[in-house]
Amino acid sequence: MLVSDLAAVLSGITSSLSWATLLALTLVPVSVFVLWRTPFGLQIRASGEHPVAADSLGVSVYKMKFTAVVVSGALAGFGGAFIAIEQTGVYREGQVQGRGFIGLATVIFGNWQPVGAFLGSLLFGFADALQLRDRTAVHALLLLAGVALAGLALRALLKHRHGSAVLLASSSAVVLWWYAVTDEVAGELPPITPHVVTLLVLVFAT
């Protein structure tokens, strides 16, 4: 049974992947290599983190910043093109639905690292996919969210971050209480879940 379940999960992950998804996955290790294993990546990071020191070593800080803005803009455009071409097949005004702000939250959640941003995108993608599930299935995830928040509260307590621990523990109690007293979530919740997760990430990240 376990083997068949794992096979079903792997089949769901690897089947019907578009070229854009494969390209996006490839960009993660490529970004890590370029930023941490090449002189160009070192200059990019130095121009952003220590521009004065980079300038004193002869690095063209403005050129590096301009290059970084162009590359990031191209990647953002790639994301928008994916939505218009692959996901919906048609362009409509406002169809990104605030995903640009979610992208910023993803970078913050990932601690400004390519791998962290990738993991953050999985979190927000999961939240966005909840719109495809029924309200009972989404309600069951409240239990998982409550337990996860309790684990984060314990971790914060062990690190002597008492303020964060109290906030996380309170959030966990509210979510678990919500799960206990209801049978399904309101129909309005799944569509706004990505934005709620974004706000929570920004609150706890700051």
- What mean pLDDT comes out for the span 7-23? 69
Q: Pick the more confident residue, 36 or 202.
A: 36
- What mean pLDDT comes out for the span 27-32? 92
- The pLDDT score that the predictor gives to residue 70 is 94
Structure tokens at 203: 């609150």
Same domain assignment for residues 39 and 133: no
- What mean pLDDT comes out for the span 176-188? 80
Which of 64, 96, 128 represents a domain boundary (last residue)? Answer: 96
Same domain assignment for residues 4 and 35: yes
Residue 27 above 70 pLDDT?
Answer: yes
Which of 70, 96, 122 represents a domain boundary (last residue)? Answer: 96
165: domain range? 98-206
* Cβ burial, residue 3 (10 Å; 0-12/13-18/19+): exposed
Residue 164 above 90 pLDDT?
Answer: no
Same domain assignment for residues 85 and 120: no
Same domain assignment for residues 83 and 142: no
- The pLDDT score that the predictor gives to residue 37 is 92
- The pLDDT score that the predictor gives to residue 34 is 92
Rounded-to-integer distance, Cα 126 and Cα 136, Å? 16
Same domain assignment for residues 135 and 71: no
| pLDDT cut 70: percent of the chain above it | 85
Residue 63 above 90 pLDDT?
Answer: yes
* pLDDT grade for 39, boundaries at 50, 70 and 90: very high
Same domain assignment for residues 27 and 65: yes
- The pLDDT score that the predictor gives to residue 76 is 85
- What mean pLDDT comes out for the span 91-118? 79
- The pLDDT score that the predictor gives to residue 43 is 92
Residue 121 above 70 pLDDT?
Answer: yes
- The pLDDT score that the predictor gives to residue 100 is 77
DSSP 85: I
Helix (H, G, I), strand (E, B) or coil at 59: coil
Residue 7 above 70 pLDDT?
Answer: no
- What mean pLDDT comes out for the span 132-139? 68
Exposed e or buried b for every residue in 28-67, given b needs 16+ CB within 10 A?
A: eeebeeeeeeeeeeebbbbbeeeeeebeeeebebeebeee
- What mean pLDDT comes out for the span 52-65? 91
Which of 75, 96, 117 represents a domain boundary (last residue)? Answer: 96
- What mean pLDDT comes out for the span 125-147? 73
Same domain assignment for residues 148 and 203: yes
| pLDDT cut 90: percent of the chain above it | 17
Query: What residues contact 140, with CB distance under 8 A and at least 6 apart?
Result: none
Q: Pick the more confident residue, 22 or 34.
A: 34
Counted domains in the chain: 2
